[in-house]
Amino acid sequence: MTGHRGDRLEAFLAGLYAHPGVLERFERDPSGAARGAGLAPDEVESVLRMDRAGLRLAAASVSRKRAGRRRRGAWQRLVDRLAGARLYLPR
């Protein structure tokens, strides 16, 4: 999986996790959705063998995380980042 081929597969999988409409289309017609994304026949077969329950669970988790991020203000996200950052100060 190199070059554009891998890129298309990666983009397709990211779409499944991040965009509910893409996941819904995939659930209605998995093979058609994968072929429509420009995946090669062997990639389509791999995608068809994916664990669908795990896929839905992961997509729901991504959706919850994105919703939580939108609810939090920019300042709070900055404070969270700074609180988790390691600061290297001169001695």
Interval 24-79: pLDDT, tens: 999 999 999 999 999 999 999 999 999 999 999 988 888 888 776 666 677 777 77
**What is the reported pLDDT for 62?**
84
Give the total number of structural domains in the chain: 1
pLDDT at 86: 57
Residue 56 lies in a domain: yes
Q: Does a structural domain hold residue 13?
A: yes
Residue 89 in any domain: the answer is no
Determine contact, residues 81/87, Cβ cutoff 8 Å.
no
- Which is nearest to 19 in space by CA: 59, 68, 61, 70? 59
Residue 91 lies inside a defined structural domain of this protein: no
**Residue of higher predicted confidence among 91 and 54:** 54
d(CA 47, CA 77): 35
Residues in the chain: 91
Asked, for residue 68, whether it belongs to a domain, the answer is yes
**Does the structure show a pLDDT above 70 at 1?**
no
Residue 23, domain member (yes or no): yes
Structural contact between residues 63 and 20, judged by C-beta atoms closer than 8 angstroms: yes
Q: What is the mean pLDDT of residues 6-17?
A: 89
d(CA 60, CA 66): 10
Supply the range of the domain harboring residue 79.
Answer: 3-84
